[in-house]
């Protein structure tokens, strides 16, 4: 079982569509940590810890439609010195309702946490 961790990634999330593919992410987030574990049958599971929205609407992930939707997540690995090799991508991502948030009482800012599963990954 392999485990990968990225600290402070900026992640673009797209709805996965076979027809009329999205070219712009519906949400861009900044996370404290992204953790990915390669499990049985080459399937992945992971967590996104303490993330907040930079652009778009992360609340879609907690909506009834968002809970059953499939996603593509993309980010760059800042630790990789070769810019041609730093792009990372997960496909077939499902959150299955495992997205929660805390809201700061003073500012109203939401900080989210999520667990997910992914069918395919490009991480190296």
- From 47, 57, 44, 50, select the one nearest 13 (Cα to Cα): 57
Q: How far is CA 47 from the centre of its chain?
A: 8
| 0.85 surpassed by pTM | yes
Name which residue leads in pLDDT, 96 or 29: 29
Query: Which domains are assigned to the chain?
Result: 2-122 (2.30.110)
Residue 87 banded pLDDT, cuts 50, 70, 90: confident
Averaged confidence pLDDT in the chain? 89
pLDDT at 80: 67
Residue 65 has pLDDT above 70, yes or no: yes
What does the pLDDT read at residue 39? 85
What is the pLDDT, as a whole number, of residue 72?
95
- pLDDT for the residue numbered 81: 66
Contact 9, 75 (CB under 8 A): yes
């Amino acid at each position: 079982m392999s485990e990968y961790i990225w600290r402070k990634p900026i992640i673009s999330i797209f709805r996965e569509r076979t027809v009329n593919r999205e070219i712009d992410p519906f949400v861009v987030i900044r996370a404290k940590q992204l953790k990915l574990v390669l499990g049985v049958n080459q399937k992945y599971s992971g967590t996104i810890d303490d993330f907040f929205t930079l652009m778009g609407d992360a609340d879609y992930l907690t909506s009834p439609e968002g809970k059953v939707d499939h996603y593509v997540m993309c980010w760059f690995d800042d630790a990789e010195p070769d810019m041609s090799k730093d792009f990372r991508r997960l496909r077939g991502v499902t959150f299955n309702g495992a997205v929660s948030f805390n809201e700061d009482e003073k500012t109203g800012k939401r900080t989210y946490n999520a667990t997910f599963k992914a069918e395919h990954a490009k991480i190296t």
